[in-house]
Amino acid sequence: MYLIPAVDASQGAVNYYEVDISSRYDVSRVLQQVKPKVIFHTATPNPFTPDHTLLERVNDFGTRNLIKCSKEVGTGKAFFYTSSSSIVRDHRNPLVKAKTSQSILAANRTGNDMLTVTIRPASIYGEGDELTTGNLIRNARSGHANIQIGSGRNMFDNTYERVEGEAFFVISDDPHFFWDTSRLVASIAEYSVEEKDVRTIPYWLMMLIAFLSEWIYWVGTLGRKRPKMTRWVVRLVSMERTFCIEKIKTRLGYRPLFNTEESMRRAVGWFLDQDHADETSKKVK
């Protein structure tokens, strides 16, 4: 189940509707009531979930369902879909991502001329993020911020966006190595790691460990569970994902609001405040 926020521009209010995005009845009922002009579709399961059926039901079927219902209502002028840059790089669940992307592109300017846009970020963080920021902080708290896989020279900070039939790559315009970013988060969260304490695990060895771990989990749980460290995760944190953004800077005037360090400080600050509030709430109960 996901919450669909609907903004009432006349009153400046936001109403939330809990729906099953894969249910045509649920989605149609809400859209008929709200009659939106602009739709921002950000609903998705945790991308690291091993439940491929859930990923397909929400990301593919749910998205196509939302597009179809939006066109039937007929009030929509623009449809923004948050996808993932993994469709062009790390290729996890490529069939699901490809089918979803195809649905979005095919819906552009068809029927009621609603414009569709697909935004493909590689790693989202900021105030409100519990996945990327949370994982990095939990890694630091567990004392593993000094561990890196491979040489540590892989850049990892980008977003891919498609606007009205054209493709735009977007990054922070402030390149950082992935493992430097990991240690930056650790430092901001007061779990600093000295350069001399960094321990490097060869990529090939980590891939072997991940393979054996996946195999043991598969045998031990009959395929029902997967380890946190899989071969896909090893590839993800070891690859370089950077893009040229001159096109979007020149043609759309794109400029990032904050550099990487400031963005991370904001993200970590929010997460720690939220974490402290949760702990305080538990103690009160």
Q: Are 265 and 188 in contact (CB under 8 A)?
A: yes
What is the reported pLDDT for 191?
A: 93
Q: For residue 160, name the pLDDT band (cuts at 50, 70, 90).
A: very low
Structurally, how many domains does the chain consist of?
1
Average pLDDT, rounded, for the chain: 81
Give me the mean pLDDT over the 47-59 stretch: 79
Residue 116, φ and ψ in degrees, nearest 5: -120, 140
Q: Which tokens is 13 given?
A: 């209010």
* SS3 state at 168: strand
Alpha helices in the chain (DSSP H): 24-34, 52-55, 63-73, 94-107, 132-141, 178-188, 203-221, 231-238, 246-252, 260-284
Global pTM reads: 0.69
Q: What pLDDT is attached to residue 186?
A: 93
Beta strand ranges found along 73-157 (DSSP E)? 78-82, 115-121, 147-149
281 burial type by CB count under 10 A (0-12 exposed, 13-18 middle, 19+ buried): exposed
The confidence band for 125, taking pLDDT boundaries of 50, 70 and 90, is confident
- The pLDDT, as a whole number, for residue 159 is 46
In a domain, 9, yes or no: yes
Tokens of 188: 């901001």
What pLDDT, on a 0 to 100 scale, did the predictor assign at position 31?
Answer: 92
Report the pLDDT value the prediction gives residue 276, as an integer from 0 to 100. Answer: 85
- Host domain of residue 34: 1-121
Q: Look up the CATH number of the domain holding residue 66.
A: 3.40.50.720
pLDDT-based confidence at residue 165 (cuts at 50, 70, 90) = very low
Residue 240 lies in a domain: no
For CA atoms 89, 90, 95, 101, the dihedral sign is negative
Residue 199 placed within a domain: no
Residue 248 lies in a domain: no
Q: Is the pLDDT of residue 202 over 90?
A: yes
Least confident of 8-17, 60-69, 100-109, 191-200: 8-17
User: Do 103 and 140 form a contact (C-beta atoms < 8 A)?
Assistant: no
Residue 106 lies in a domain: yes
pLDDT at 6: 59
What was the pLDDT predicted at 158? Answer: 46
16 in a domain, yes or no?
Answer: yes
